[in-house]
């Protein structure tokens, strides 16, 4: 077994001058990274953008309503922080490509078995709750589109939200059986088109419906900032699957460039949706902006349809690490199709059962963002990076930046979690 000094000797020096966008200045080690899969640059862009862009877009107008217009400055800050911590994950992956292939591997490389357990626990719980929120979203919006629907199945009566959650789970199930992320990119492309059309439908709603002249908006609401921050972090939650996507790339040295493209595209879409939704509905906007749209209108049906497509296209991407972890836990042979199908089916069914009992979409999303997403997106990448690279030295300015990010992360985790848990308890 090689000693610690031998292991750390190959680590690249971390400085602010290290290029975030690989190019001519990239070091030799990064240029010689091995390929872990066959996903091309464009397909990786689709997968990564789909991983970052998600149902958080529906809560953006509500997040602005909670914190006021000035809270959008915090949204920009959160986006920049999440992009930077995404590059930290990449640099942790590059520390030892042979030993680090997943997010828990990063925790193990930095802090041993305790690090692996901590990262894995937060990562899988976050992904599982996000998967549940997808199905809650499907049930809420389909119930709005088809109110009063009822089906009798095997002696049980399914109706309303529960019926549509079951249908959504049945539709998404086959996509979870796909293991190749290159193939899954086609599913991701559908989700991205749906996100863009959703934003267009909100413009349509503003022009044809209430217009953009709501006076019931606020500039700043300090009491609502913790909720806003939690929801903003939800928008960029995807770090838990970054290592999976990184390892699937044909040429992983371009991951930073893919991450930058994805972050910019998603930020523009999020920002537009936030401003349009809040301008139309003001402080009356609901936790899912589509629930404010008037029933029966064509733009409402288009918006809800696009809302339904997005989670269906994203569910499999987020469920993939959970399925892989279960396969590893039970030592399932690589390439065992029947075992993968069985495990994926259990995961989908269990999330559908839990989703049928969750009545508070907005508060659940705020809790995920405030606690779980902040841990996976801010706390763990920063701590692991500092631990892995401290032997070779980190520039003081970068240490100061990461320390500031950690302080922000802890603040959001404490205040946002307290607020969201109190709101969830208040619904019972």
For residues 13 and 197, the answer to whether their CB atoms sit within 8 Å is no
Give, in order, the Cα–Cα distances in Å from 226 to each of 82, 123, 414: 17, 22, 9
The answer as to whether 17 is a domain residue is no
Q: Which residues pair with 158 in a beta bridge?
A: 151
The answer as to whether 19 is a domain residue is no
Distance CA 78, CA 232 (A): 7
Give, in order, the Cα–Cα distances in Å from 146 to each of 160, 205, 295, 306, 349: 8, 20, 10, 15, 23
Distance CA 312, CA 300 (A): 19
Instruction: Please tell me the predicted confidence (pLDDT) of residue 36.
Output: 39
**Tell me, what CATH number does 181's domain have?**
1.20.1740.10
* Structural domain boundaries enclosing 254: 39-426
The answer as to whether 344 is a domain residue is yes
The answer as to whether 249 is a domain residue is yes
As to burial, measured by CB atoms within 10 angstroms (0-12 exposed, 13-18 middle, 19+ buried), residue 130 is: buried
The answer as to whether 67 is a domain residue is yes
Instruction: Please tell me the predicted confidence (pLDDT) of residue 156.
Output: 74
Query: C-alpha angle with apex 191: 190 to 192, nearest 5 degrees?
Result: 95
How do 156-159 and 150-153 pair as beta strands? antiparallel
For residues 257 and 21, the answer to whether their CB atoms sit within 8 Å is yes
Number of folded domains that form the chain:
1
The residue written with tokens 């992360």 in the block is 409
The answer as to whether 10 is a domain residue is no
List average pLDDT for each run of 10 residues in the chain, which is 428 residues long.
42 35 34 47 79 75 91 92 93 87 90 91 82 82 79 75 86 77 64 78 77 71 84 80 82 86 88 87 82 79 78 76 81 70 88 78 63 84 93 87 92 78 68
Q: How far is CA 403 from the centre of its chain?
A: 23
The answer as to whether 377 is a domain residue is yes
For residues 356 and 140, the answer to whether their CB atoms sit within 8 Å is no
The SS3 of residue 179 is coil
The answer as to whether 341 is a domain residue is yes
């Amino acid at each position: 077994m090689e000693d610690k000094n031998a292991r750390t000797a190959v680590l690249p020096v971390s400085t602010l001058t290290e290029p975030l966008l690989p190019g001519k200045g990239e070091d030799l080690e990064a240029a010689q990274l091995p390929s872990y899969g066959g996903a091309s640059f464009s397909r990786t862009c689709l997968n990564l953008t789909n991983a970052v862009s998600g149902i958080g877009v529906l809560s953006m107008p509500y997040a602005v309503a909670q914190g006021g217009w000035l809270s959008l400055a915090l949204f920009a800050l959160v986006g920049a922080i999440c992009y930077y911590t995404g590059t930290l994950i990449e640099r942790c992956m590059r520390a030892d490509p042979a030993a680090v292939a997943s997010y828990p591997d990063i925790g193990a490389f930095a802090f041993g078995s305790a690090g692996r357990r901590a990262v894995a626990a937060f990562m899988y719980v976050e992904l599982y709750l996000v998967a549940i929120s997808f199905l809650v979203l499907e049930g809420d919006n389909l119930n709005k589109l088809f109110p009063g629907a009822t089906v009798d199945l095997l002696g049980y009566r399914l109706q309303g939200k529960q019926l549509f959650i079951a249908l959504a789970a049945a539709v998404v199930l086959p996509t979870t059986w796909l293991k190749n992320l290159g193939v899954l990119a086609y599913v991701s492309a559908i989700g991205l088109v749906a996100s863009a059309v959703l934003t267009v439908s909100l413009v349509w709603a503003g022009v044809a419906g209430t217009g953009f002249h709501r006076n019931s908006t606020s500039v700043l609401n300090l009491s609502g900032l913790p909720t806003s921050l939690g929801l903003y972090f939800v928008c960029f939650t995807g770090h838990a699957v970054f290592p999976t996507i990184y390892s699937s790339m044909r040429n992983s040295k371009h991951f930073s460039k893919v991450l930058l493209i994805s972050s910019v595209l998603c930020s523009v879409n999020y920002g537009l949706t936030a401003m349009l939704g809040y301008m139309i509905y003001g402080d009356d906007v609901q936790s899912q902006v589509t629930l404010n749209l008037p029933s029966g209108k064509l733009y409402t049906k288009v918006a809800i349809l696009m809302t339904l497509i997005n989670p269906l296209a994203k569910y499999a991407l987020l469920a993939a690490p959970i399925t892989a972890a279960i396969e590893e836990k039970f030592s399932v042979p690589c390439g065992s199709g029947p075992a993968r199908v069985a495990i994926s089916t259990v995961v989908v069914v269990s999330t559908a059962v839990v989703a049928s009992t969750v009545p508070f979409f907005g508060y659940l999303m705020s809790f995920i963002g405030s606690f779980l997403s902040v841990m996976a997106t801010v706390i763990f990448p920063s701590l692991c990076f500092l631990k892995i690279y401290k032997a070779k030295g980190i520039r003081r300015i970068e240490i100061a930046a990461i320390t500031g990010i950690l302080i922000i992360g802890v603040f959001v985790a404490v205040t946002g979690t307290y607020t969201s848990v109190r709101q969830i308890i208040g619904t019972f």
